[in-house]
Structure 1
Amino acid sequence: MNQPATSTQQTDRNSNEGQTMETAQPEAQTPAPGGKAPGRTLNYFEAPYIAMCISEEDLRECVENGLKTYLMRRRKLTEVCNELDRLKKTLSALEQEGEEADGEWKQSFLKSFGKQTKPMRDKVKQKAQAKLEAEQIKEMIELLEPQAQWIKMYTYLARNAVVDDKSKLIDLVTHNRLIAAVDELSQNTECMAKLGEVVKYLFERVETDTCNDHAYMATLGIDAWKQKGAAYKAVMNYEDTAQLNREVSRRQMSALGDLFLSRIPVDHKRIKLPGTEIPERLPFEDYKDGGYYSPIRFPRELKELEEKMGFVPSLDELDSDDTAA
């Protein structure tokens, strides 16, 4: 059990209670929009870094423009990958056709004991034609694969950029809405006056409870059984006093935050920003399996691809909606 407080402390408490009844509380001061009440400091809250760099409108425009770029590259990547898939299927069919024709003309040739029949000659022509077409298709694939990889890489970069910008936009939008909501709440001067009148007593109670937290005070070498309140500070050194003050402040903010949150409805829905929806990644979008990206290897791989490509389009051409005839 805690030992009773000294008579001096009890007298002080009674004196404070008397002042509570007699002293008129000052009128609550309304903070400026987006700011803090006069005399208050913010030690546990700060705006996201992006709020100091760009406006919400400008950042939203960046996201929308980046999304357009990404969607354009994604569309062209889809077209190229679909064409590659079609060519590979065609090549596979031609190779199978050539193998079948090769086996059939040889069998026909042997069955006729070396006589070159018309069906046999037709199969020889079919084999040669399939082989010629297969070589052409292989050449097309060899030309198109580096370009497809090149587009994949730039599509990957575009998506990463827009995802990053949208994350920053969400940080900025939610911060602005939070400040606006608190500003709106602070306009209720009657409510703010009531809170201003009693919050300090909550803080005093938290300070007293902290100073009588036996386990915590023991870490500072203080026996909290001896007396109540913050009288220990008179015998504590500077470092321990500063540590105690930090712990008191942390618990005060936690208590006030807990009380405030207990009145806010629980809403697990994510904020939606119309016009900035990013579609799910397509299976062939990652230029490396599993989305692997190395900022060191990327430029080198990009250069190697461009050396393989007979034609390297500019990014303006890649991001343009114009299509070749």
Structure 2
Amino acid sequence: MGKPLNLGIVGCGAIIAQYLDTFQRLDSVNLVAVADLDPSRAQAVAAAQPGVRALGVDELLTDDEVDLVLNLTIPVAHAEVALRAIAAGKDVYGEKPLAATTAEAKEVIDAARAAGVRVGCAPDTVLGTGIQTARKAIDDGLIGAPISATATMMTPGHERWHPNPDFYYVPGGGPLLDMGPYYVTALVTLLGPVKSVIGAASHTRTSRRIGSGPRTGETIPVTTDTHVTGVLVHESGALSTLVMSFDAVQTRSPNIEIHGETASLIVPDPNRFDGEVQVCTLTDQEAGWAILPVSAGYHDAGRGYGVADMAQTPEGQEHRANGDLAFHVLDVLESLLESAGSGTSVTVGTTVRRPSAVPLTGVPQPVV
């Protein structure tokens, strides 16, 4: 509080561009260094960012100027980089998921608590006006007591556009661990933590053909499930039905619907910060769906607002895109896969407090 938080970024892949664009608009964060296993990528980023140094990974993790390490590495490296940063006394904010497994995620959370540093994690899309306007409608009682939700993500697969899609089709990948964090984080934000799940999963193809880039036409193996469905039982009693697929062609289903005693909501894409929230009420069904005015969330937000929210949160208070939330979401996803393998309901071993709501504002403000 009072001065910008100095950031060092580890991982200079495609996603970094979105963070860099956001940080240029925010006064609460200050990028000072970048690193990548491929030094040329770090050098290219630093050359385009005045005052930013290109360092080796070890150098960045121990650099005295860096307050927080933004971890944009691939999922299998999330825990390793986070633990090394924590050991150096740095706060950490990572891309989703928090780690490749809940066991690794627990190591990160435990290490951070022992070291007295903070952990944050994407997705921070739930801090935007789309999910937050829907949350305010629910919290204000617009739909009555929430009863159920549906969350649907259906695509033919990322190999059509991604030049190196291999990691989507091995254990630790698949639609659930790739896109599920957006949807489950939104469901927890809207309806609260999940206490148990039951799931089923399948995959229809044993290989995929790359459709773009220098490897176009190359076939890669599929060793993980590519269609996952399940029911999440929230502690509130609400039931969410989740469908995540790389095996479908297209869907007309809304990304998320929330159903209550007196109304239903259509919630926008949780992979975006904005979008229309629509409501249909029991007393006015003939009028159909009406668009709710934007009433909450960070306006015109982008990837990295979770970092800025973390920077603005006073010491001793919990920032919104926090590690405990990411740990719980990962636990829900892993429990779904466990249930799909066993054919039985699985109790989710963690819980979490819903993060505080975001009032309608232009840039991240201190949590009050």
- Structure with bigger gyration radius: 1
TM-score, structure 2 normalization: 0.17
TM-score, structure 1 normalization: 0.19
- Structure with the higher fraction of residues in helix conformation: 1
- Structure with the higher fraction of residues in strand conformation: 2
